[in-house]
Chains A and B, each alone.
Chain A
């Protein structure tokens, strides 16, 4: 096993200043958000940057919290996730990863690929379209969440899937906010 100090040093080299791995919950998100805001305040990040980085953390984490695997999956006692927040020269990044059911990949992928092709104006209209209509199923909320991320991220969302076992894959998602 890599010594925790070595692990921390390699994360730091990548610019990561907050890293979480383990069972995630709303209370974990609230505390990470609070530390993040303090950190950006100390760094004199603008209000706009702080708001956007915080917002992306919330959307990405809650997208994991609200993920319901498609049928035939045993409900997991915990939702494990990786959340890494860091910065490079001129921007902050938020990377999240969680395990998803392979059957759900086409849906997630198709939504992200569609979002990828939309201009800022089209994203805004799509967001408004999803927001209309009464409270409906959770998939609408998940899609709204992805559109919100794309709106807030200053670079296109980066994503990929890595096979974990016969039924599951790790879903990686990265957003960026220019300072």
Chain B
């Protein structure tokens, strides 16, 4: 399966999904004009990838300096997909937050509470 790579812009994040290394990353700023349209290809890639993997350790790095509310909904959808795949795989999500940014930490804590199988780590930058 081919990797998925999208470079960051001023208002969209870097998305780097590597199937061969089981390493996923979303980082930067995220406030696209049309969030669904923007994330749909990566969402579909992820669904296809998760259908193929079994018994792997999959790591997702989330390092966002800013994201809007609709991005937060899409992140939840991505985490839910990973949570469902957590029965057959070990899933680790590393959520990076700025210690001066209490909202980002709160978001991370909320996401963590909503997930059952993934290991969700809150990491201070």
A residues neighboring B (CB under 8 Å): 26, 30, 34, 46-48, 51-52, 54-55, 58-59, 62, 65-66, 124, 127-128, 130-132, 134-135, 140-141, 144-145, 147-148, 152
Can you list 18 contacts pairing A with B, beta carbon distance less than 8 Å? A48-B100, A55-B66, A55-B68, A59-B68, A62-B70, A127-B69, A130-B73, A131-B76, A135-B36, A135-B43, A135-B77, A140-B73, A144-B70, A144-B72, A144-B73, A145-B70, A148-B68, A148-B69
> Is residue B124 within 8 Å, beta carbon to beta carbon, of the partner chain?
no
Chain B 74-91 interface residues, beta-carbon cutoff 8 Å to A: 74, 76-77, 80
How many angstroms from the CA of A155 to the CA of B34 in the assembled complex?
A: 29
Given A48-B100, A58-B31, is A128 in contact with B110 using a C-beta cutoff of 8 Å? yes
How many angstroms from the CA of A48 to the CA of B105 in the assembled complex?
A: 12
Whether the pair B100, A131 counts as a contact (CB closer than 8 A) is: no
The 6 A-B pairs at the shortest CB distance, nearest first, are namely: A148-B69, A47-B100, A26-B33, A131-B76, A144-B69, A141-B70
Q: Chain B residues near A66 (CB, 8 Å)? A: 34
Given contacts A26-B11, A62-B68, A135-B74, 4 further A-B contacts (CB under 8 A): A62-B31, A62-B33, A141-B35, A144-B69
Whether the pair A131, B73 counts as a contact (CB closer than 8 A) is: yes
Whether the pair B110, A124 counts as a contact (CB closer than 8 A) is: yes
A-B pair number, CB within 8 angstroms:
68
How many angstroms from the CA of A26 to the CA of B66 in the assembled complex?
A: 16
Given A47-B98, A47-B101, A128-B110, is A65 in contact with B69 using a C-beta cutoff of 8 Å? no
CB distance from B77 to the nearest CB of A (A): 6
CB distance from A74 to the nearest CB of B (A): 21
How many angstroms from the CA of A131 to the CA of B11 in the assembled complex?
A: 21
Q: Chain B residues near A48 (CB, 8 Å)? A: 100-103
B residues neighboring A (CB under 8 Å): 10-11, 31-36, 40, 43, 66, 68-70, 72-74, 76-77, 80, 98, 100-103, 110, 114
Whether the pair B69, A147 counts as a contact (CB closer than 8 A) is: yes
Q: Chain B residues near A58 (CB, 8 Å)? A: 31, 66, 68
Whether the pair B101, A51 counts as a contact (CB closer than 8 A) is: yes
CB distance from B59 to the nearest CB of A (A): 23
Minimum CB distance partner of A54 in chain B: B66
Q: Chain A residues near B35 (CB, 8 Å)? A: 141
Q: Chain A residues near B98 (CB, 8 Å)? A: 47
Minimum CB distance partner of A26 in chain B: B33
How many angstroms from the CA of A132 to the CA of B114 in the assembled complex?
A: 9
How many angstroms from the CA of A140 to the CA of B73 in the assembled complex?
A: 10
CB distance from B53 to the nearest CB of A (A): 21
Minimum CB distance partner of A149 in chain B: B69
Q: Report which residue of A51, A62, A127, A131 has the largest number of chain B beta carbons within 10 angstroms of its beta carbon.
A: A131
